[in-house]
Structure 1
């Protein structure tokens, strides 16, 4: 966890998730993840202080792979259901969306993985009627995200692939490179309201 915010993390539990990870909790928890072209969606219900975060690499599998939280279509349903198991009401859920950066040093295109992931996340949430209260999407830098499940508060910083962050970032990007199966569409404007950059 980032030393600058240790006091703010307080007594909250700490969890880290990677590709295919989903973590929802009733107990106050800070969930951390690092994103390149992948997407993380945080959901929370402020009336019962329940929330969670996922991390997926593509909207859906193109190879007939068994249902996996590595794909957005399943990761989103798992996160919604897990939040509801902990007492959240689906009609009260609010979302924060992160990721979709173009960090893999491949020629950028409108049909690329980052754009496809962004379009899927925004479309899914719109279809499900879950309002997006803030988002930070696209660009070229990876992101480190800390999501507070009990409040929806988010700390985020952009990571450059140099210096102290290099090993962690490169390990995450390497996971994405190994996992990516196909390219696919369109970046959304960043809205960093309700997100604290550090």
Structure 2
């Protein structure tokens, strides 16, 4: 509940846990509604049926506070400020293309392929969600920062001189099968 100067209001009545009426000295009621909503969230690349989670947030809060609440739910060593939040509407009730993309593709283009809208950190939740969105839908896609690992290697192919190369691997390239095939073909003299 916001802090109001005590002298401004004579008394207040709690109607429901979310709505309070304040009366000033002229007996004009001032309604203050503290609205909380529950949003279903999913980290990109995770199974929506097993790994989706809910976060309850006050709609008067900023998106940056929402990121902090999400960070507490995901067990990751990423800083909250590095998470990107996207507003989406993906139904979990039946199979659909968006659900398949978010489940299988780590580097999915959230804006184009999922119809996502990036949530700026300093905007209020109420700007993006004026009421409680539909149940059994994913409302927020959480995008981790792109991680790149570099591996410096030296390889010798037969009697040829050593060749140095660098692997820059993102999360989406976990299997390096293409690199193995390239190395194998080079060892056979194929280009």
Greater strand share, structure number? 2
TM-score by length of 1: 0.25
Rg (Cα) greater in structure: 2
TM-score by length of 2: 0.25
Report 1 or 2 for greater relative contact order, CA contacts < 8 Å, sequence distance ≥ 6.
1
